[in-house]
Every structure is written in structure tokens, then in C-alpha cells.
Amino acid sequence: MRRREARYLAYASGNFGKNVMWSAADITLLFMMTDLVGVAPSAAGLIFLIGLGFDAVLDLVVGWAAERTRTRFGQFRPYLLIGAPLCAAAFVLLYSLPLLGVTDAAIVATAVILFRGLFAIADIPHNALITRLTRDSRARTRIAGYRMVFSSGASLVISLASPLFLSGGDRAESLFLFVLLAGTGAVVTLVIAAQAVGNADRPASTVPLPLRGQLTAILASADARMLLLITVLTGLFPPLFAKTFLYFGQYVLGEPETVRICLTAMVIGQLIGIPFWSWLGTVTEKAWALSASHMVAASGFLCVWLFEPGGITIAAVGLWCGVGLGGLYMLIWAMAPDVVEQIEAGGGGRPEAMLFALLIFAMKLAISVGALVLGLVLDGSGYRPGIVQPAGARTAIAAMTALVPSLGGFVCAVTAMRYRLSHAEHLRLTRKIEADAK
């Protein structure tokens, strides 16, 4: 048993590598483009959106290709072994632009698209490999929990290190050094993850369906459709809190230091919450745990809207929000492999990589829409950076920080309860698959 859990942990460590690159770009990319390279803010925002959109579309392409890959090294592992070093190299190249004196927005855009594209090559197959580790629904919940621990650890590293490269006279050098270390760590953990799966990465015996057939099989499943809806709502609402709190702390509370305090407390809260949600999703149903985690996070967002806490109080609220957020993505990724078996039992093949690609595509699309809406709301409210904001702008910032994520979180909680695939039903389906294979 210890050996099996160690194998699960080794696979999950890949999430540290992926998230240290993803979160670093999410937090620092706009800053790097505007403050270190000199790209106009509007152009930087467009580059960010184009890069994320390209990444989302490529997720589907990688998912389709991975379903058809057959090598003696496995089906999904070659993508990690090849994609991880290429992605890390593109990551380091992107953040070397300030040191190289690059100021051309087209070159920056090319570097961003290159990094986003190569990230998809490592990301989708790593996600799909969870289906090869075990068919046990409860074990998959534990694995998803381990993955979130590593992801949160990466976020904590970035949160604690950010003051080193967001201020001072040698910001470009400090940021590049951090990225170089992060990229190296990403390669190491993703190679460890690939090796942990070993011979279990055997392609399905059936020939994969064409792309249209896979999408049809996925959308024919009521639970797959519900999981896609939950993923869209989860990508649309909860992420608004962290994005908009940057403005909330500075312009509504008038306490810029609360941003670091709250975001760090949220990451710590996630680390605390992950074991609890993993346990709850194992002893009850994953949908119930997902609904409860949304309720916890939404209640924390609502407290921010109602009381506008500052000082040390925001650390407690951020911790509570983080506890709830710790269950959201973990449980979605724990539910997805079960849906693969549901589709397989229904005669729709095993669209492993394609289902994960579709979920990630939906998540990124929702996050992009949320960011776009936030920008439009800020513009419409009269927001202008670096000045005392008018009352309308402060109200809009507070609403987008807390009220909208809170109401959206409650909608997510209700929606999650409509997911019907239970542990018992999944066990019945896996036994049917095994019986049909004999």
C-alpha cells in the first residue's frame, strides 16, 4: 500500500511543475510585458488573451492526437518526456526578453504563444494519465488531493517569492533567475510523474473514435455535460475574487498590503482544505463534497462584500475562502476519470485525453470571459489607475471582488448536486467493463 501511495504522490508531483510555470505566468506576465518590456497595457492584455485562447484550442488538438498515439514508451508518457523540457525552455525564453532588450510586441506575442502551446503538450497527457493509475473512484479522489497539494505548494512558492522580483532595481534579473529555477523544477517533477506511471500507460485496446465521434460520445453522457457546466461556472466565478482583490485592497480598503496577506492566506487555506475535501469526497460522494466546497468559498466571498474586512481580519477570511477553494478543482479532476468509464461502459470508447482537453478548454474559456467582463466593468465604472476612485468604481470593484463570485459560487453549489455518478454506480460500471472484456 505504501508503494502504491508513493507512486500516486510521484505522479501528482507533476502538478508542482505545471503550476509553478502556469501561476508564475498568470501573476507576472502582464507585469513583465508592461513594466519590463514596455508593451502598451492594451496590447499586453490582447497578447495575454490571444495566448490563452491559442492554448485552449491547442488543448483539443493535443487531446485528439494523444488518443491516437501508440509507442513502446506508452501513449501519454512521451508527451511529458518531450513536452516538459520544450515547455520549460519556452518559459525561460519568454522571461529572458527583458534582458535581451526586446521591445517589439510581435516578438513578445510569438514567445507567449510558443510557451502556451508547448504547455498544452505536457498538460493534457499528464491529466489523462490519472485514468491509467487506478480505476478505483475513491483512490482517484486521493490522487486529485495529492495533485492539489503540489499545485498549492507551487502557488505558495510564487506568492512568497513575488516581492523579490516585483520591486527593486534588478527586477528583470531576479525574475529571470526565478523562472530558470522554476523551469528546471518543472522538468524534474514532470519526468518523475511520467516515470511513476510506468507500464500502466498502455493504450486502450479499442481504436479511438474520430474527433466528432468522441465529442458525440462525451456530450451524450448527462454527467459529462453536467461536469462541463460545473467546470465553466467554476472557471467563471471563483477566480474573479483573486483577480479583483488586487484592486479591492488598494482602492476600496486603501490597504495595499492586504493583497499579499489575503492571497497568501488563501493558499495556506487551500493546503488545509485539500485533505478534508479529499476525505469527504471519499466517504460521501464527490458531488456533495464539491457542492460543500463551493458553499464555503462563496460564504467567505460574501463576508468580504458585507463587511469589507481589512488588517488581520482579511487573513482569516482569506484562509476560510482558501479552504473552500481547495476542493473545487481537485474534485472536478477526480470526477472526470469516472465519467470516462461511464462513457466506455455505454459503448463510446475511452475518450480520456479528449475529455480532459474539453474540460480544460471550457475552464480557460470561462476564465478568459471572466477577465474580459471584469475589464469592461472597470472601464464602464470610471476606473482609472493610480488615482482615488469615484464611488461608482469602488462599488464595481467591491461587487466584482466579492458579490459576483459569491452569488456565482452558490449557483455552482446547486449545480454540482445535479451530478449523479456515485461511487457505487462507478463500481458497477467498471465491473461491467471488465466482464465485457472477458
Q: What is the pLDDT of residue 89?
A: 95
Mean pLDDT is lowest, of 15-19, 143-147, 280-284, for: 143-147
pLDDT at 316 over 70: yes
pLDDT at 5 over 90: no
Q: What is the mean pLDDT of the chain?
A: 85
Closest CA to 292 of 265, 320, 324, 267: 324
pLDDT at 243 over 80: no
Mean pLDDT is lowest, of 31-35, 58-62, 237-241, for: 31-35
Q: What is the pLDDT of residue 208?
A: 65
Give percent above pLDDT 70 in the chain.
Answer: 94
pLDDT band, very low/low/confident/very high, at 163 (cuts 50, 70, 90)? low
Half-sphere exposure for 344 (CA within 13 Å, toward CB) = 28
pLDDT at 78 over 90: no
Distance CA 21, CA 108 (A): 17
Lookup result for grid cell 487506478: 134
Q: What is the pLDDT of residue 187?
A: 93
Q: How many C-beta atoms surround the C-beta of residue 340 within 10 A? A: 26
pLDDT at 437 over 90: no
Which domains, ranges and CATH numbers included, belong to the chain? Answer: 1-202 (1.20.1250.20), 209-432 (1.20.1250.20)
- Across the range 345-361, mean pLDDT stands at 81
Burial degree of 53 (CB within 10 A; 0-12, 13-18, 19+): middle
Beta bridge partners of 71: 74
Distance CA 83, CA 13 (A): 16
Distance CA 29, CA 22 (A): 10
- Across the range 85-111, mean pLDDT stands at 91
- Across the range 426-430, mean pLDDT stands at 89
Check if the beta carbon of residue 247 is closer than 8 Å to that of residue 241. Answer: no
pLDDT at 305 over 60: yes
Q: What is the pLDDT of residue 53?
A: 80
What cell was used for 258?
492586504
Beta bridge partners of 74: 71
Cα-Cα-Cα-Cα dihedral of 113, 119, 120, 123, to 10°? -160
pLDDT at 231 over 90: yes
pLDDT band, very low/low/confident/very high, at 384 (cuts 50, 70, 90)? confident
Check if the beta carbon of residue 62 is closer than 8 Å to that of residue 353. Answer: yes
Residue 305's φ and ψ, nearest 5 degrees, are -65, -45
Burial 149-186 (b: 16+ CB within 10 A, else e): bbbbbbbbbbbebbeebeeeeebbebbbebbeebbebb
pLDDT at 205 over 60: no
- Stronger pLDDT, 185 or 371, i.e. the higher one: 185
Q: What is the pLDDT of residue 389?
A: 82
Residue 190's φ and ψ, nearest 5 degrees, are -70, -35
pLDDT band, very low/low/confident/very high, at 22 (cuts 50, 70, 90)? confident
Q: How many C-beta atoms surround the C-beta of residue 395 within 10 A? A: 14
Q: How many C-beta atoms surround the C-beta of residue 3 within 10 A? A: 7
pLDDT at 408 over 90: yes
pLDDT band, very low/low/confident/very high, at 385 (cuts 50, 70, 90)? low
pLDDT at 300 over 80: yes
Q: What is the pLDDT of residue 438?
A: 66
Lookup result for grid cell 476525505: 279
pLDDT at 167 over 70: no
In three-state form (DSSP H/G/I as H, E/B as E, the rest C), the secondary structure along the chain is CHHHHHHHHHHHCHHHHHHHHHHHHHHHHHHHHHHHHCCCHHHHHHHHHHHHHHHHHHHHHHHHHHHCCCECCECCHHHHHHHHHHHHHHHHHHHHHHHHCCCCHHHHHHHHHHHHHHHHHHHHHHHHCHHHHCCCHHHHHHHHHHHHHHHHHHHHHHHHHHHHHCCCCCHHHHHHHHHHHHHHHHHHHHHHHHHHHHHHCCCCCCCCCCHHHHHHHHHHCHHHHHHHHHHHHHHHCCHHHHHHHHHHHHHHCCCCHHHHHHHHHHHHHHHHHHHHHHHHHHHCCHHHHHHHHHHHHHHHHHHHHHHCCCCCHHHHHHHHHHHHHHHHHHHHHHHHHHHHHHHHHCCCCCCHHHHHHHHHHHHHHHHHHHHHHHHHHHHHHCCCCCCCCCHHHHHHHHHHHHHHHHHHHHHHHHHHCCCCCCHHHHHHHHHHHHHHHC
Q: What is the pLDDT of residue 165?
A: 61
What cell was used for 438?
472477458
Q: Which of 65-69, 135-139, 257-261, 428-432 has the highest mean pLDDT?
A: 428-432
pLDDT band, very low/low/confident/very high, at 372 (cuts 50, 70, 90)? confident
- Stronger pLDDT, 15 or 213, i.e. the higher one: 15
pLDDT band, very low/low/confident/very high, at 102 (cuts 50, 70, 90)? confident
pLDDT in tens, 55-69: 878 888 888 887 777
pLDDT band, very low/low/confident/very high, at 127 (cuts 50, 70, 90)? confident
pTM of the model: 0.78
- Across the range 363-389, mean pLDDT stands at 78
Mean pLDDT is lowest, of 102-116, 120-134, 377-391, for: 377-391
